[in-house]
Amino acid sequence: MGFFPPDYIGPCAMGIRMGVITPGADLHELLADQARRLLEDGVMEEGDVLAVTESVLARAQSNYVSTDELGEEIRGLLSLPRDGTVAVVFPLLSRNRFSLILEGIAKAVPEGRVVVQLSHPCDEVGNPVLGREESRLLRKEDIIAADEMKGRCPHPITGVDYIKLYEDIITDAGASPRIFICNDPHRIAEHGPDGAIIADVHCRDQTLDAVSSLVRNSITLQDVCSGEDGPASTEWGLLGSNVSSKGRLKLAPRDARGFAIELQERIERENGISVEVLVYGDGAYKDPESGIYELADPVSAFGCTPGLEGRRREGFKMKYLIDTLHLDGKSCEQIEMILQSEKGRNRAIDSMDGEGTTPRPTKDLLASLADLISGSADAGTPVVVIKGIHSRK
């Protein structure tokens, strides 16, 4: 069967149902079988992108850790006494992304104290903790203790009061909570912690530099569950982890790039065609209504085949050229011919006809598209075939 979309169909992406994928599954075998079906049905062809969500890869790798195991590892990494004080700096406000991490941290000091410093007016991905007007009146070094806040700022969509939730999680683990709001990470040192965990995702290195200048015993979430001795591990540590079930966290996948390359080689060996393979996480999307930024994962593309690495999607601003050519008196047929010739022309990155088409990493655009197609709910399509966006040169 031939390639099914007619010529007038442009770039497109299709979610592919895969059925239930359980821990320990042979994902390479499942995807190789699916690839054969896609090729036979004309859904996939040479040069397409086969995108696989990171969650099914991590699940197939059985990459899970319990909060009890997490507590033991954190206690060992920071050499914490059971009645010690551990600081947590700039965590996300998220049940899925951080609640079980916090539980594990609290279990590291079940007779001690957990001090949590939140940023304002929101965490790094836009979940609010303080009203913007109230935040505007504060200096960077100003502190507001949780029990001194005039009014809590619940999550705009779920209504969750994250300060209360985090206090309850710490208390239930046996530790004593202390939560405050301040944008200066140096202020955490005033609480005399025995160790500190830098919990933000995208700015973790800068935050670590600031905190470790005063609290030498400091690590980031990437340092936890990143060794080979634990029950589960990944080069990303706890970054990209989320709630699984029964007090377990699912970590990000291990060596997603190696997985992508092996799958590409197998598909080519068994079918005689080459497709690019991408392992994707969160899309890099900001909700204009709530202001919440989707990218809670450390990256949107956890790994990909070499054909996608270092590539950027570039082009010309079609609407600008059409308007310009029309004003010059060109006919629709003439404009169409000129546009076709423009597609293969190199141009300066700051040229006017490229304005509005900022070059972006191809793998991140593809990952964001795949995430929007598959979503994180009940679509049941952990694989996405993307056509017409990536092409080899």
The amino acid occupying position 243 is V
Model confidence over 92-123: pLDDT tens digits? Answer: 999 999 999 999 999 999 999 999 999 999 99
What is the pLDDT averaged over residues 285-310? 91
Of the chain, the percentage scoring pLDDT greater than 90 comes to 64
Farthest CA pair distance, the chain: 80
Does the global pTM surpass 0.95?
Answer: no
What is the pLDDT averaged over residues 367-387? 85
Query: How many CB atoms are located within 10 Å of the residue 383 CB?
Result: 23
Please give the C-alpha separations between residue 325 and each of 59, 104, 157, 354, in angstroms, as whole numbers: 53, 62, 46, 15
Model confidence over 130-139: pLDDT tens digits? Answer: 888 888 888 8
Could you tell me which residue, 1 or 297, shows the higher pLDDT?
A: 297
Mean pLDDT of the chain: 88
Model confidence over 70-88: pLDDT tens digits? Answer: 999 999 999 999 999 999 9
**Region of poorest pLDDT, from 1-5, 112-116, 272-276, 356-360:** 1-5
What is the pLDDT averaged over residues 278-297? 90
- The half-sphere exposure of 316 on its side-chain side, counting CA atoms within 13 A, is 20
| Most confidently predicted of 6-20, 30-44, 121-135 | 30-44
Torsion of CA 371, 373, 376, 377, to 10 degrees: 180
Please give the C-alpha separations between residue 340 and each of 31, 196, 316, 343, in angstroms, as whole numbers: 36, 57, 11, 6
Model confidence over 41-65: pLDDT tens digits? Answer: 989 999 999 999 999 999 999 999 9
pLDDT range class, residue 392, cuts 50, 70, 90 = very low
Model confidence over 138-174: pLDDT tens digits? Answer: 889 999 888 877 656 777 677 788 999 999 999 999 9
First to last CA, the chain: 26
